[in-house]
Structure formats: structure tokens, C-alpha cells
A and B are shown apart, each in its own frame.
Chain A
Amino acid sequence: MSTARASFDGPLWTRLEPLLPQVQKPARYIGCEDGMQTPEHGPGIVSWLMTYPDTYEIGLPNAGLQILYEIVNERPDGAAERSYAPWVDLEALMRRDGIPLFSVDTHKPAGEFDVIAFNLSAELTYTNLINCIDLAGVPIHSIRRSDSDPLIAVGGHCTYNPEPIAEFVDLVVLGDGEEVVGEITELLREWKRSGKNSGTREGVLRELSKIPGVYVPSMYDVEYDGEFIAAVTPRYGDVPEKVEKRTVADLADWPYPKQQLVPLTEVVHDRLAVEVFRGCTRGCRFCQAGMITRPVRERPAEQVSRMISEGLKRTGYDEVSLTSLSTADFSGIEKVVGDTVSDAGVGQVSVALPSLRVDAFTVGIAAELQRARRTGLTFAPEAGTWRMRQVINKLIREEDLYGAVESAYSQGWRRMKLYFLTGLPTETDEDTLGIAELGRNCVELGRKHHKSPSVTVSVGGFVPKPQTPFQWFGQNTEPELKRKVELLKEDLRGTKGVQLKWHDTRASLAEGITSRGDRRLSAVIEYVWRRGGTFQEWSEHFSIDLWLEALAACSLDVEWYVYRHRTEDEVLPWDHLSAGLHKDFLWQDWRDALEELGLEDCRWTPCYDCGACTGYGIEHVVASATPPAGGSQGTGVDLSAGGAVPVMLQPKRTVGEGKLATASPGAGS
């Protein structure tokens, strides 16, 4: 079907080639990765251009796009290639020379694909989405597209509220794409065979809207009541009133990517990645990823071990990342770690756990994996006081954190990074200052083990997200977030060993504008794009003034969209889209949050009927019914800090190859 070693020099390549010596990082645009496919195109074959609306370095590692790229290319009726947003230097030359957006695989013009499918993981890429559509030579508004234009599809976490970009996209896929991508391909194959005759696009969109998990915004009318939404109603009787997300029941059936792309130039996660589970039931209330990906579906440990050993052999990487929302919660973690360490041999492979749980047990696992180069570890307590952590349901006790930090320092790590959110519901200055207090205490623990330990306290402004219990919460104003950052700066001034870092509070505001908006936001996003506001995730291109100017130009109010608290009876712009979570469950969880009531992890307790399992007739898939060893965190079991694992471990065994473990604060922060 395809071959990775063929070299394709299409007509577009010969025009692009002379431009590449004039731009930064030209290797972004050449493809040629190991794992690249050059599929055949033809009348009975539906072609997909899997596109990430940011640079190659950020987009290439995106697992969702790589999985769909393989699944489509395995189909006899499918062909998939990839594209990424060209950096501003190449974009200027492309526009000058009339070169359209292209695939990196065969340098085929984007406009020649049947579907251009975007992964949307961050709201601030919305202007890049429009820019890529425009660069493809496709009208940016779905209503202006003709039958021969590609369909613009989007998936990814942002699509749980796609209303701000509803005018620009033809179809939205909610949830896991593995199965639905094939169903869409089948439907489009027939349409393509029939020649995509004039006037048939509307009919195809209507058919697409009947596929479970597919939302076609143009099939719905939105009625307003003043500023509020009165109703969102399907335009036809056969279009569903509510679109439910898709959920793959068992990851064991989907061992993808089988041939992870190995880029020739450096990218953000330049290592093998094996997804160990999807979903999370810890129930952190700020975390959109944890809410929308339920239930937990673990990959069998043997499959994980096999994907690691085969993947390392095939790619030549010496580092593997075990990905999930909380990898230490994977019930097969000990087996996988054991297999990997013994299989690869000490000194050959390093294993990264990108989301460390905050407890000594987890640090023990990290120690097993990182035999050398123990420079830094990252934890995400998210809030500074126990009260605040109960509100957000991140049930980490101070003892858990101190146990983890002490254990890490005792085993040779010197630098700790702690992730926090500020601007959380009910947050007081005492809670905010608790962040500084934790940082100070951690560095104090480090002094017992090192002369100059360091703790980096990283603070991000909280942006409430759709389909979470905090979707009703009015985001802190930008000046308020800035005040809290100042409070921390002042409190930590002169504190030795503690560095404070903070996310630009203006970027949190822009994210807030786009995350819970409705269709009226389309004009704002278009305004920002028309004035050159692309690459808004990049500080050198980000401009809050442009966003505020756009809101004013569209007579929309930042207070109304971002800062006000929403009420139970309000129709939310995304109410017709479902991640499986009942709205009354989310509302109850919101009330519980305000009452400072923590909710235990439902893997180990009776079902709360949030809807994610019951609604779809599926269940958690876990290999072990016992809570993980380690901290008490939301397991309902009062394990002492560290559990059966000693907090203090002696430095041990041979020193070999290893890289530092890193952790991210979770997609919700």
C-alpha cells in the first residue's frame, strides 16, 4: 500500500525547495521520518490530511494524529498524510509565491485532500486553525465552501466546546477517534465515488451528523435570548439533539501507533511514547482531561512491555515515555518497569514518567528507572493548602508531598519543580500563600541532603473548562491573577533556593475568552487572525491587546464571557455535546467543591454514576482491584505516607544511563 523509502518530489516540492534555504529550521518541512507513509490516492480512496495547527516540533509527537494516520493508511479505502503550520517566515514566502499548505509526506497541496483533520489541544491555536484553512486555499467559513472543497474536521480536547470555531469547521469528532475515523471514511468513500456532485455537500454533512460522536455545527441552529443562549436545536428531525462522545472500550484492541514516527530533527517529545492507559478517575475538578476521558482503560501490561521493546528496537530511541494522565496509577507499572529494565539492560534505556503522582512510592519507581542523571523531578500538588486541595479534589496531604520530596532528595535528586494553579474557586490569600509555604518547606527538606537544593514553584492562572465541575466558575480577572502572582513574588523574595515562575496571566485571559465561548466568538477569532494574530501560544507573537480589541470590535464583553459565575439554569454553549458526564453530577460536584468536600477515586469505591460508564455500557478496565501502593490520595484507604515503601531509600546498584523524570501538571492547568 505504501512505502517509506520512496522519495516523492511532487510539483509543489520543486517550488518549495528553493525557499527552504531562506527559512529557519527547514527540516520541519521535508518529512522523510522513519514511519512516514506515502499512500496512493485515487477515486475510491478517501484522503485525510492530519494537521496540527502549530509548528512541526510541537505537532509531530501528537499521539492522536499519529494513531489516526496509521489507522486510515491501513484501510484499502483510506490514505492519510500529515501537515503542520508553517512558521511565519515560510508562510510569508508561500503567500508571496502562491504556494498552498502542503503535506510533508508527498508535498501534495492540502486542497487536494478530501478531509483536512485538525487536532485541537489548545484554544490559543484557533487562529492558526483558520490560517491553515486559508493557506490550503479553502474558504475559512464552512458556509462558503463548495462541494469540491475538502471537509474541515477537528478533534481533540478543545472540541468539547467547539462553538467558538463552529463557523470554520464542517465536522467535529468527540472522544476517541480510532473507530469513528473508519465510519467517516466509509461514508465519504461513497460520496467520492459518486463524484461529489454539485449540491451534495449538505446531504453528506447531514449523513455525517448521524454517526455517533460526530457533531456537524451547521446542522444546528442557536437561538439567543439577549446575551444568553435560549436553545440549540437540530435543523432536521434525524439529526441528534445531543451528540455523545466516542469511547474505545478496550485499548488492547488498539496497539497504536505501531510505527511511531521518528523525526529527523528535534521535536518536543523526542522519544518513544507508549500510552499505558486512557482516562482518569481521580476526579480533579479543574482537570478537563480527567473528566472527558473517563472511564479508565488500562492497556494490558504484557502489551505495554511488548510495545516498549519492539518500539525501542525499531526506532533506535534510547528513551521511552509511559504516557497517561497519571502513570503511577497504572496497575501494571511494576511489571512494566521490571520488564523494561531487565530487557534493555542497565545503562541502555531511560524511562520517563511524564505525570508523577505525589508520593514516595512513585519516587521509588522513578528511582528504579532513572539510575543516573538524577537532576530534577516534578510534582503537581496544584494548590497550597489542604482546604484548597479538597475544593479541587486533589487529595494530596502535606505528608504525601513531603514524603515524595524527602525521598527524592535522599536518592540524589537535587531540583524539585512544583506545579500549582492560582485563581481557583474560593481561593483566599492564605491559600495562595500556602504555595510559597510548601515551596519553602520542600527546600528545607532538601537541605538535609544537599548543600544547595532548589525548588521551582511554577504557577499558572486557572482557566475553567467546559465539561468539568468548574465550568460554572467565573475566572479570576487578569488583574486579580496578577495580584496573586505579586503576592507570591513578595512572599518569596529573598528566599534562598526557591524560584518562582509564572504563566503569563494575559495568556490565561485569552484562553478564558476562547474556552467557554459561544458561536459569537467566531468573529473575534477571525478578527485576531485577520490582524496577523497567529501563533498565539508563542510569547513573541501573543497579543492580549489584539484579543481585547477584537472583543470590543464585535461588541462582546470580557466580563460576560470570562469573569461572571454562571448559574445552574443557564444553557451552556456546549450543553448539546456530551462527554458522558451527567450535568447534574457535574453540578453536584461543583456544590461539593464549594463545601470543601473531597470525592474519592471511583475505581476503589462504589460508582457515583457520573455517566461515563453507565451511559455507554462500558466499565473501567483495570488489571488490579487493589489501590496502588503509596499515598492515601483519594483511594479511600488510609495508607500511611509511603505505604509499604520506605520513604528513605539508600543509593544503590550500578549507575547507568538515565534521564531525569519530568512531570506535567496535567492537561487541565
Chain B
Amino acid sequence: MRLRISFSKHGKVRFTSHRDIARIWERALRRSELPVAYSEGFNPRPKLSFGLALSTGHESNGEYIDVDLDPARVDGLDVDGLAVLLTTHLPVGLTATGVVVGDRRMPSLQQAVTSCTWQIDVRDADPIMIQQSIDRLLERDEVMVTRERKGKEITDDLRPAVLSLAVGSPIENGVRLIAELGTQPRAARVSEVLSALDPPLAEDKVLRLHQWIQTDDGQRADPMTVSAASSAPLEVSA
């Protein structure tokens, strides 16, 4: 039995890393006494799988974790009350927002998620100038960027991953952008997109609004409502 849990990350706790969040979840799950399944072998680990990493410092309305439960111990599990229970075991700023019951045939979050919607605030910027630089970026056929990965320089085209980019509602002392960025074959980073603008921008606050899974019919769906294995709606409780 596999649970998919959605959670949000706001406030001070956004300065924890992806690795920190993994360890926080391990402790929270132990404290909640949820019957988590453990791997076999010399070094049994709880069977958890995390979705796309969120950069340290970014907030999110839509983070996910898949948890495998020990089928022998799931009797009487209160799925409805689980999100509230888990939140009491999480630090301030991390909130479990929903739990759905799936199964082990669900593809992993890393494989399934195809894009994310981002809210990006930049400070002291002029919305008209930004709109112009966005237009220039979107008109281009390719946007080659070079990044370092494991000590090697890799150059690839960022343009296909920029699914949408636009100036959003006005904010104080800056401009709010809304972007949908692709995550396959690799997740485009907010900072890369801002750097690719001419003139480049620097992010102030960044919030992941959504993660999306593209379904067979070309629609995009929330990871909590779609089981790509069965395409049947899952039992939802939040």
C-alpha cells in the first residue's frame, strides 16, 4: 500500500534543503507511528520517495512524498485524519495538505511530473521592461545555457522547458512573474530562466504553485488526482 502525501513549505523553514526535508519526514513518520515499510538487508531504511527537489530558499504550495506502508499493519489506518496528524509532527511551516491511497504501480513522482508552475518575485524592476525581455526570450527558437554538473560543463537548450512566462499581478517594490517550466528530461531552474533574460533578473522570493502530470489525453493533472497506471481517479481525502 502506498500513500501519496502533499505538503506545503512556507516561511523560515524554506531555508532547509531537500536533504533536510527528507530527514524531517523520516522523523515525523516515526513519531506519527504510521506503519511505514522498511527495506530489507543490513541497513533497513523506510521506503519513502520524494518528488522533484525544491531549491533551498524556495517556498511551495505543492510538494509530494510517496510512502510505502507495511501491508501487515495497515488495518484500522485513519487516512482521513492523517494529514492533520502528520502536520502536528512537522515543524512550523511544513503542512501536510492531503493524503491519497495509491498502490505500488504508481510511477514515481520524479518520472511522472512533467512541469511546475512558479510564482517568481523580483525586486526593484520595471514591469514593462520585463515584459519586453520576456517577449524577446519567448520569440527565440533556442536558448542555449551552460551549467556545471558533477564538475563537467553541460550546454543544452532551455527554450523547450519554458512552457509559459508572463508578468503576473502587481506587487509592492517589484514584479511578480508566473512561469510554467518543464521538468523532463531535466527540470529547468527558475534562476536559469531569469539569467537567460536580457537584461538578466535576480529572484527575490520564489514559490512553487503547482506540480503537473501530463496525462495521455494531453491535459495536465494534479499528482494527487491521477494515477498514471490506471488513469482512474484515486480515493481522495484532505
Contact = CB atoms under 8 A, between A and B. Distances in A.
Interface of A: 5-7, 13, 18, 20-21, 26-27, 29-34, 262, 264-266, 313-318, 347, 372-373, 655-657
Nearest to B55: A21
The range of chain B's interface size is: 20 to 34
A26 B15 contact: yes
A26 B16 CA distance: 7
A27 B31 contact: no
A316 B16 contact: no
A30 B12 contact: yes
Contacts of B43: 372-373, 657
A316 B89 contact: yes
Contacts of A34: 91
B80 to A, nearest CB: 23
Given A264-B91, A265-B17, A373 B42 contact: yes
Contacts of A33: 91
A315 B15 contact: no
Given A21-B57, A32-B93, A657-B44, A266 B11 contact: no
Given A347-B44, A372-B42, A372-B43, A7 B93 contact: yes
Interface of B: 11-13, 15-17, 19-20, 23-24, 26-31, 38, 42-44, 56-57, 89, 91-93, 204
A55 to B, nearest CB: 15
B16 A265 contact: yes
A656 B39 CA distance: 11
Nearest to A26: B15
Given A27-B16, A266-B19, A657-B43, 18 more contacts: A5-B92, A20-B15, A26-B56, A26-B57, A27-B20, A30-B13, A31-B12, A33-B91, A264-B20, A315-B31, A316-B29, A318-B26, A318-B30, A347-B38, A372-B42, A372-B43, A373-B43, A657-B44
B27 A317 contact: yes
B9 to A, nearest CB: 11
Nearest to A264: B16
A317 B92 CA distance: 18
A423 B13 CA distance: 47
B17 A27 contact: yes
A172 to B, nearest CB: 34
A29 B15 contact: yes
15 contacts: A7-B11, A18-B204, A26-B15, A26-B57, A27-B17, A32-B92, A33-B91, A264-B24, A265-B17, A266-B19, A315-B31, A316-B30, A317-B30, A318-B26, A318-B30
A99 B28 CA distance: 34
The 6 closest A-B pairs by CB, nearest first: A316-B27, A26-B15, A316-B31, A30-B12, A316-B30, A21-B57
B42 A32 contact: no
A13 B12 CA distance: 9
A32 B20 contact: no
A657 B44 CA distance: 6
Contacts of A372: 42-43
Contacts of B29: 316
A347 B41 CA distance: 10
A30 B44 contact: no
Interface centre among B12, B29, B42 (most CB of A within 10 A): B12
The SS class assigned to the A binding surface is loop
Contacts of B13: 30, 32, 264
A609 to B, nearest CB: 48
Contacts of B20: 27, 264-266
A347 B40 CA distance: 10
A68 B19 CA distance: 30
Contacts, number: 70
Nearest to A313: B31
A656 B42 CA distance: 6
Contacts of A317: 27, 30
B148 to A, nearest CB: 17
Contacts of B11: 7
Contact of B42 (A5, A26, A264, A655): A655
Contacts of A26: 15, 56-57
Nearest to A6: B92
Nearest to B25: A316
Contacts of B204: 18
A656 B31 contact: no
B65 to A, nearest CB: 15
Contacts of B27: 262, 315-317
B30 A7 contact: no
A9 B123 CA distance: 21
Nearest to A18: B204
A34 B16 CA distance: 14
Q: Name the residue in A21, A262, A373 with the highest tally of chain B Cβ atoms < 10 Å from its Cβ.
A: A21
Contact of A30 (B15, B31, B42): B15
Nearest to A107: B12
Contacts of A27: 15-17, 20, 56
B29 to A, nearest CB: 8
A372 B41 CA distance: 9
Contacts of B30: 316-318
Contacts of A5: 92
Contacts of B38: 347, 657
Contacts of B56: 26-27
B16 A314 contact: no
A525 B20 CA distance: 37
Given A32-B12, A318-B30, A20 B57 contact: yes
Contacts of B28: 316
Contact of A266 (B23, B57, B91, B93): B23
A163 to B, nearest CB: 40
B39 to A, nearest CB: 10
A27 B11 CA distance: 12
A234 to B, nearest CB: 47
A261 to B, nearest CB: 12
B213 to A, nearest CB: 29
B231 to A, nearest CB: 36
Contacts of A20: 15, 57
Contacts of B12: 7, 13, 30-32
Given A29-B15, A266-B23, A656 B57 contact: no
Contacts of B24: 264
Contacts of B57: 20-21, 26
Given A29-B15, A32-B13, A32-B91, A316 B42 contact: no
B70 to A, nearest CB: 12
B93 A316 contact: no
Nearest to A349: B30
A658 B154 CA distance: 40
B225 to A, nearest CB: 30
A7 B92 contact: yes
A34 B12 CA distance: 14
Contacts of A32: 12-13, 91-93
A134 to B, nearest CB: 25
Nearest to A31: B12
Contacts of A7: 11-12, 92-93
A7 B13 CA distance: 11
A34 B23 CA distance: 13
